[in-house]
Structure 1
Amino acid sequence: MSFTKNNLSKVDKKDAKLSLAHIYVAFTALLLGGLAGLLQVFVRSGQFKLPFGIGYYQVLTVHGVLLGLILTTFFIMGFQFAAISRTAGAFSNTQRKLGWIGFWLMTIGTISAAVMVLLNEASVLYTFYAPLQAHWIFYLGLTLVVVGSWLECLAQAMRYAQWRRENKGQTSPLLTFMVVVNNLMWFVATLGVAAEVLFQLLPWSLGFVERIDVLLSRTLFWYFGHALVYFWLLPAYMIWYVVIPKVIGGKIFSDALSRLSFMLFLILSVPVGIHHQFTEPGIDGFWKFLQTVLTFFVVVPSLMTAFSMFATFELRGRELGGKGVLGWFKNLPWKDSRFLVPFIGMVAFIPGGAGGIVNASYQMNELIHNTIWVTGHFHLTVATAVVLTYFGAAYWLIPHLTGRKLTNKLNNYANVTGIMWAIGMFIMSGAMHIAGLLGAPRRSEFSTYGGSEQATEWISYQIAQAVGGTILFIAILLIIGVVVNLLWFAPKGEEEFPVGEVAEGAGKTPAILENFKVWGVILVALILIAYTIPIIDIIRNSPLGSVGYKFW
């Protein structure tokens, strides 16, 4: 396969510095966001009050923004720079310069938004729903994060295009291809939130308009918001598809199947956001139904991924002598944190995906909508399946970039972090799911529940959340300890950036799977079908009429 011929053994040193800069910010966000999450579950338990006049919604916003937006975006971009450098070759000076400009824009934007949250000028949660209003600097900061990420996506796309020019007629490196698909999805999705911020929230917060259409702003956010989930997820899939087979000593089951699943995620990621708006009365039921159907199509690439991964595991396990139906299972490298930690994430994605089916089902969603069930689901999918895969990748990526070794001792500590995370999340997320079924609201602090009999029924589950959250924070401290050692104190040496080879018996990859024009047309068509009439209806029926901008 041409995809393995062009692999390089190491990430270029200059590219490594750019990748590491992103990782520094990502794990700083993990520590601060994790602390805010710990304070949050303590408050919800009813046994703790925040000191120094800090508001509950301040820490809730810090937790959501730092972990949901900053940790993920910075880690993804850092990982993707390293992945392209490793598989397609070093970036040019111009491409790398674009990456650095994007990084500093993202960092300045992060600091700006964080300052506003800490000053209690932007306690609007990570969804920043209107009519909650933040200081304009918060919105500008988030805009800089998005614009910076666009520049980084452009640099990565330029390196992919350069590889295609230099290797005409060949199938591109799988990992590089996956990065480009994820970036294209990210760019298309962020157009929605960019429009919301630039044309609604920023003018409103600056006083240029008195009111905005809340339904339109939420629709634009969720045009972006559900694709955001796949932007988090697809880098984890990159690691599952390409890295894990190499770690276990096996082969990639199918290059074509891997690319097809990513293209399906690309076209199905954006035109599904309205399934987050089932209770919005201003959207016609037909469009909710249509986007529900499109949402369920996303199950297809998810099942393809599950099939591909477990086929890879079974083939390798049987190569090592596994017999019987499940005898291969015990032959997997369970003591290797590069495998164990992401595998825990994979397992968590099974109940997480089942919960997602509940969320996307109109009738069942009515039961759990805006309850803490949704938060529990979120913590199984993003905060377990995705971030555990990121952590598992960091344990080999960081020493590869720094020229150090993942020692046996650090590997054992890394395994402990994955196990602790699984225990803490089982307790916390499980309590959230049960409390949600009992009607416990999402986003509300304990003091707002009052003294009702129903609120009393929720208390034990809120305390369980605090217990689980405490275990998770201890795991975060241990993760930071491992990361710090891998950055600066581990012994000097060489650590592999594992990139799998495609199995010999796999079929040839059809050229259409790399034809972005075809898939782009399908993506645009689905978006226009799913969103054109709903947005026209929202604007036509807006209680604001024609919105006038008033400049002083």
Structure 2
Amino acid sequence: MSLNKLTTVDRRDAKLALAHIYVAFIALLLGGLAGLLQVFVRTGQFTLPAGIGYYQVLTVHGVLLGLILTTFFIFGFQIASVSRTSGTFSDLQRRLGWIGFWLMTIGTTAAAVMVLLNKATVLYTFYAPLQAHWIFYLGLTLVVVGSWVGGAGQVLRYVQWRKENKGSKEPSPLLSFMVVINNLMWLVATLGVAVSVLFQLLPWSLGLIERVDVLLSRTLFWYFGHALVYFWLLPAYMVWYVIIPKVIGGKIFSDSLARLSFILFLLFSVPVGLHHQLTEPGIDGTWKFIQVILTMAVVVPSLMTAFSMFAMFELRGRELGGKGIFGWIRKLPWNDSRFFVPFIGMLAFIPGGAGGIVNASYQMNQLVHNTIWVPGHFHLTFASAVVLTYFGAAFWLIPHLTGRKLTKSINNLANISGILWAIGMTIMSAAMHIAGLLGAPRRSDYSEYGGAQQAYDWIPYQIAQAVGGTILFIAILVIMYVVVKLIWFAPKGEEEFPVGDVHESSGPTPPLLENFKLWLVILVALILFAYTVPLIDIISNAPPGVKGYKLW
């Protein structure tokens, strides 16, 4: 039980959380439309109007969904979570939240305008030597800095709770603890992309420096890029660990296990970026192999989470009278979108995780690297497991913040959106995986392959991607309708912000798990171990013309 007795989010904090959520769903609609256009173009039967380029919509799709939808929804959810479990924000903490929001919004607008003007068609990864307009890089910088400022407000509220309850034997609120872990991971990870943008890409685009070290910029990006995946994932885990037990009437299986899994994600999130660069020259194979091993270590907290979730499901199902080996499954609330939609995401994470093992494997990666298999994997993990959990959370979070009700009819529509998403994603992702095994490239619109026989082999899978993508966009339209109803038109009322209690048999939580100084020291040590020598090698062995290049 938490010492905090609040059951609702303060209205001032709710306004701040909603502002973030509004931007997130606008990004979903626009990014989803760009994704639909992509799969149509890849069939070879559709040409984009008004001179719009394929790689232009690819950049819109990746940036809006991978960076903007996620960051804004995560911060809206985390603000509400901290306010609900640690207490109402102070004026300073809330002000930091608003400053962060406006910095991120201004940055998003600036970057989006450059992409729409076709002056920043640099894909989601914005790799050099592709160069964008300097306003695009400045916009992304504002998004990152804004997230630091907004995250500081959340962390300060948690610190305040610790001070207010000093001497208590009770651990801090689990949901707030998880938010702090995610913010710390995000801060450490974004240092890499901040260095790359501020000291390489931005000065380069302004003409202040003649060239950049491409390998160094890519390595700094992936120092950030893999932790970004966990930044998306951990809020979904917050919902799975803390919210879903309350939704189904059960209890959190283990407070200690939940905290330990988040700490392990923190430790193994950053020092693993080189496994995205296994095919790149200039990085010693020994260090690639070491980071592959560190990457595989994330299987441990993932399996801990799976065990915790399904143990909780079984305990609740048997409490409701489930008999036999699988009888408890029928007792779960399958008609409740707050459970059903995230559960679809949990199932998608099983094949998605298996594909991730292939991607991170030193040998198997050679087969699938830079093929469309990789987006197929990405759409199972991020675009299914994570995004469906966000949607499931939105179905109760938005009415809680707006003072409305999730009615039966809206709930049914929400379930339909989840089913449509599952169907569309199954078709599209399966086609991507198979086409990838046949050698279909990751980002191409395939037009440059002309009449090559290989391109003909990919056509059925390109058409399947378009079919799946169309169903997915229909699902997005249904979700947008649900969201609009929950914001403005659903009946007035009170919707619960569900926070689960810990099971009585869980046992006490060791204070060691909340020793942030210890875990941060270990994290820094792992990063220094994994990156010091590779970065020294990259800088000291830079090619002619870049040799001696300085970051400033």
Classify the TM-score, shorter chain.
over 0.9
Q: Is 2:359 aligned against 1:359?
A: yes
Q: Which amino acid aligns with 2:433?
A: H
User: What does residue 524 of structure 1 align with?
Assistant: 524
Q: Distance in 1 between matches of 2:197 and 2:94?
A: 28
CA contact (8 A) 2:199 2:551 kept: no
User: What does residue 490 of structure 2 align with?
Assistant: 490
Q: Distance in 1 between matches of 2:245 and 2:450?
A: 52
User: What does residue 112 of structure 1 align with?
Assistant: 110
User: What does residue 273 of structure 2 align with?
Assistant: 273
Q: Distance in 2 between matches of 1:265 and 1:439?
A: 33
Q: CA deviation at 1:451?
A: 1.0
User: What does residue 194 of structure 2 align with?
Assistant: 194
Q: Distance in 1 between matches of 2:448 and 2:21?
A: 38
Q: CA deviation at 1:549?
A: 8.9
CA contact (8 A) 1:22 1:75 kept: yes
Superposed CA deviations along residues 218-264 of structure 1, whole A, max 9, x for unmatched, are: 00000000000000000000000000000000000000000000000
User: What does residue 246 of structure 1 align with?
Assistant: 246
Which among 82, 85, 88 is matched to residue 83 of structure 2? 85
Which among 123, 128, 131 is matched to residue 129 of structure 2? 131
Q: CA deviation at 1:35?
A: 0.3
User: What does residue 549 of structure 2 align with?
Assistant: 547
CA contact (8 A) 1:209 1:547 kept: no
Q: CA deviation at 1:6?
A: 1.4
Partner SS for 2:324: coil
Within 5 Å, give how 1:102-501 maps onto structure 2: 102-169=100-167, 170-501=170-501
Q: Distance in 2 between matches of 1:85 and 1:64?
A: 31
Q: Which amino acid aligns with 2:300?
A: V
Q: CA deviation at 1:168?
A: 1.0
Q: Distance in 2 between matches of 1:507 and 1:126?
A: 44
Q: Distance in 1 between matches of 2:45 and 2:422?
A: 25
Partner SS for 2:505: coil
Q: Distance in 1 between matches of 2:549 and 2:483?
A: 50
| Worse overlay, 443-452 or 85-94 | 443-452
CA contact (8 A) 1:264 1:298 kept: yes
| Worse overlay, 418-427 or 441-450 | 441-450
Q: Which amino acid aligns with 1:133?
A: Q
User: What does residue 28 of structure 1 align with?
Assistant: 26
Q: Distance in 2 between matches of 1:45 and 1:90?
A: 51
Q: Which amino acid aligns with 1:351?
A: P
Partner SS for 1:339: helix
CA contact (8 A) 2:405 2:490 kept: yes
CA contact (8 A) 2:213 2:549 kept: no
Partner SS for 1:422: helix
Q: Distance in 1 between matches of 2:528 and 2:245?
A: 38
Q: CA deviation at 1:479?
A: 0.3
User: What does residue 98 of structure 1 align with?
Assistant: 96
Task: Rate the CA distance shift 1:49–1:329 in 2: closer, same or farther, 3 A.
Answer: same
Q: Distance in 2 between matches of 1:514 and 1:45?
A: 52
Q: Which amino acid aligns with 1:547?
A: Y
Q: CA deviation at 1:446?
A: 2.7
Q: Which amino acid aligns with 1:214?
A: V
Q: Distance in 1 between matches of 2:390 and 2:5?
A: 22
CA contact (8 A) 2:103 2:142 kept: yes
TM-score (norm 2): 0.99
Q: Distance in 2 between matches of 1:392 and 1:285?
A: 42
Superposed CA deviations along residues 514-542 of structure 1, whole A, max 9, x for unmatched, are: 00000001100000000000000000001
CA contact (8 A) 1:209 1:549 kept: no
The count of aligned residue pairs is 548
Superposed CA deviations along residues 158-192 of structure 1, whole A, max 9, x for unmatched, are: 00000000001331000000000000000000000
Superposed CA deviations along residues 295-325 of structure 1, whole A, max 9, x for unmatched, are: 0000000000000000000000000000111
Q: CA deviation at 1:349?
A: 0.2
Q: Distance in 2 between matches of 1:418 and 1:300?
A: 28
Q: Distance in 1 between matches of 2:34 and 2:305?
A: 34
Q: CA deviation at 1:547?
A: 2.3
Q: Is 2:69 aligned against 1:71?
A: yes
Q: Distance in 2 between matches of 1:17 and 1:319?
A: 38
Partner SS for 1:498: coil
Q: Which amino acid aligns with 2:337?
A: S
Q: CA deviation at 1:449?
A: 2.2
CA contact (8 A) 2:200 2:551 kept: no
Q: Distance in 2 between matches of 1:237 and 1:60?
A: 28
User: What does residue 41 of structure 2 align with?
Assistant: 43
Q: Distance in 2 between matches of 1:297 and 1:8?
A: 37
Partner SS for 1:545: coil
Q: Which amino acid aligns with 1:304?
A: M
Partner SS for 2:504: coil
Q: Distance in 1 between matches of 2:432 and 2:14?
A: 39
Q: Distance in 1 between matches of 2:380 and 2:532?
A: 33
5+ residue gaps in structure 2?
Answer: none
Superposed CA deviations along residues 477-535 of structure 1, whole A, max 9, x for unmatched, are: 00000000000000000000000000011111000100000000110000000000000
5+ residue gaps in structure 1?
Answer: none
Partner SS for 1:505: helix
Q: Distance in 1 between matches of 2:43 and 2:159?
A: 53
Q: Which amino acid aligns with 2:90?
A: S
Q: Distance in 2 between matches of 1:417 and 1:332?
A: 20
Task: Rate the CA distance shift 1:317–1:424 in 2: closer, same or farther, 3 A.
Answer: same
Q: Which amino acid aligns with 1:496?
A: E
Q: Which amino acid aligns with 1:334?
A: W
| Worse overlay, 223-232 or 450-459 | 450-459
TM-score (norm 1): 0.99
CA contact (8 A) 1:208 1:549 kept: no
CA contact (8 A) 2:23 2:72 kept: yes
